[in-house]
Amino acid sequence: SADGGRNLSLDSIPMGLPMSDPTAWATAMNNLGMAPMGMTGQPLLPDFDPALGMMTGIPPINPMMPGLGIVPPPIPPDMPAVKEIIHCKSCTLFPPNPHLPPPATRERPPGCKTVFVGGLPENGTEQIIMEVFEQCGEVIAIRKSKKNFCHIRFAEEFMVDKALYLSGYRIRLGSSTDKKDTGRLHVDFAQARDDLYEWECKQRMLAREERHRRRLAEERFRPPSPPPVVHYSDHECSVVAEKLKDDTKFSEAIQTLLTWIERGEVNRRTANNFYSMIQSANSHIRRLVNEKAAHEKEMEEAKEKFKLALSGILVQFEQIVAVYHSASKQKAWDHFTKAQRKNISVWCKQAEEIRNIHNDELMGIRREEEMEMSDEEIEDPSEMKETEESALVSQVEALKEENDSLRWQLDAYRNEVELLKQEQGKATRDEDTTKEQQMKLLQQALQGMQKHLLKVQEEYKKREAELEKVKEDKLKVETLLENLKEQESSTSRVCACSQEKECPVEKTLSSPVKSEREVLLVGIISTFLHVHPFGASIEYICSYLQRLDSKICTAEVEVLMTRLQNTFRQELSGVGASLEKRWKFCGFDGLKMT
């Protein structure tokens, strides 16, 4: 035909099919969300953006997506999808009515590579089906049925999306108008066991790759295991002893020594070797101390440099502040504008604040130096000695290393002698230790008995003092009882001789108050408690009364107040250990009650 020279390609697959419009397949691929390419590899639609979706508003299809919508969204009226006539060698495909909704599809199975094609012409053959659908991609198999439908399996999943574009087209074989030579194509997803099996295999492969990737990442971030420590031997001991004397290999050697000691490699035979290694580790302390002294010296030099730089900065700050102050004098101040004066005053305040901060910092550094100098005055002679000793350390170490071998032999002989002495003196020591333990136990028992006797004597003395106090209280109470009896007898006589009009007076005399002295005490106590509205203890009241009369005792006062219940009331105040009995004056309330 005339359009045979204009062929388009789909994903680098040549298609020598005549078309009425060269942009027919470009429009179709654009509707599916795929960028159509020409024969030269250039895009047919330069304005296509897959990130923004399809031109027609249909969302792009993801081949790995488990399912699609049953009905795609409607096409916007301002962007119509134009489907053109497709001419093949033995048939022609006519597009559906553009105003009709797009054909519905079922949910997409996972890994779908097979499509169902219905509405085929009765006279259609596999060659015609292959001719139509090989444009979408490589066809692996076609299973045609006798009832005008077939199943087509493609090589890749994205080819299924291209085949779905042909759904709704009317097919005509050649130029015949017979009903058996026409049909309406319906393309939909098909569920096949082979597709599902391949998809599951692919998913398992991806899962294995992900696990392998995670394992590699974990191994990469896992901290390396420490190197294994060699077992003890005489050769390894000599190697470790040499490493202990080397500053660069000291940390590795000391770790090996620690591991050997913790493993229990120390015994009688190896004790001298271990002692020599421990001694060389101890000699490393001097090297560390010298290294620390060198670092401290560097730090002191850095402090001095910082102090000098800070003092220079402060001098410059003082000069700048002096410039601001001279500019704020009246001679120069009157010639500046308001804005300039404001800026100068703000700058002056900022400069003074920064100067004060730096000055305080410098003063703090000087105070610290003074404190350190006061401490160093005492330590100066020792430092001089250390500097002199550091010069002799190298010579002394050489001599020590020469004498180490002799010392090891001497230590071995001494250990053997001590072991023999210990074995011989074990029996005598056991007897001595048992006797000493018995003596200590007896001494402890005697000390405990003495302490107990002292405690018993103290308690006995306390109880004797309490008994004497109780006897004195008994005597006082007996005297009070006798006085009360005499007062009762006198009041009974007065009541018998008094008249009926004086009965209230006699009743008051026959009340708990027995004598004029008690009446005076009641008045004094009432005035005292009236001044103390929150009450007072009996000791506090008696201390006040004893200033007036030293013969007054607490028992007499307490008995008198307990008898006058309408005048005095006893209450408990406080909580727990601070619980206290207080007496309060309630005469005003008692007057209403009587």
Please name which of 176, 171, 189, 168 lies closest in space to residue 66, comparing C-alpha atoms: 189
What are the structural domain ranges in the chain?
Answer: 86-201, 234-303, 308-368, 516-591
DSSP three-state, residue 571: strand
**Cα(522)–Cα(527) distance, rounded to whole angstroms?**
9
pLDDT value of residue 501? 45
125, 83 in Cβ contact below 8 A?
no
Q: Are the folds of 86-201 and 516-591 the same?
A: no
DSSP three-state, residue 594: coil
Q: How far is CA 149 from CA 129, 136, 152, in A?
A: 10, 18, 10
pLDDT value of residue 376? 60
pLDDT value of residue 142? 92
**Cα(26)–Cα(6) distance, rounded to whole angstroms?**
13
Q: How far is CA 10 from CA 109, 113, 300, 305, in A?
A: 24, 17, 79, 77
User: Which residues contact residue 4 at a Cβ distance below 8 angstroms, ignoring those fewer than 6 apart?
Assistant: 16, 18
pLDDT value of residue 425? 74
The pair of structure tokens assigned to 466 is: 């309490």
Task: Say which amino acid occupies 88.
Answer: C
pLDDT value of residue 79? 38
- For 208, how many CA atoms within 13 A lie in the half-sphere containing its CB? 6
The pair of structure tokens assigned to 304 is: 């001095």
Name the class of domain 86-201: alpha beta
pLDDT value of residue 21? 44
**Cα(212)–Cα(487) distance, rounded to whole angstroms?**
114
pLDDT value of residue 187? 94
pLDDT value of residue 65? 41
The pair of structure tokens assigned to 176 is: 């015949």
Please name which of 56, 116, 255, 362 lies closest in space to residue 48, comparing C-alpha atoms: 56
User: Which residues contact residue 22 at a Cβ distance below 8 angstroms, ignoring those fewer than 6 apart?
Assistant: 3, 6, 8
pLDDT value of residue 202? 93
Each residue's pLDDT tens digit, 479-507: 888 888 888 777 766 656 554 444 444 44
User: Which residues contact residue 429 at a Cβ distance below 8 angstroms, ignoring those fewer than 6 apart?
Assistant: none
Structure-derived torsion over alpha carbons of residues 487, 491, 492, 495, reported in degrees to the nearest 10: 180
pLDDT value of residue 427? 61
Strand partners, 101: none
In this prediction the pTM is 0.31
One CATH from 1.20.1280.50, 1.10.10.10, 3.40.50.300, 1.10.10.1150 for 516-591 = 1.10.10.10
Which residue ranges of the chain lie beneath pLDDT 70?
Answer: 1-81, 374-398, 401-402, 404-406, 409, 412-413, 427-428, 492-512, 576, 594
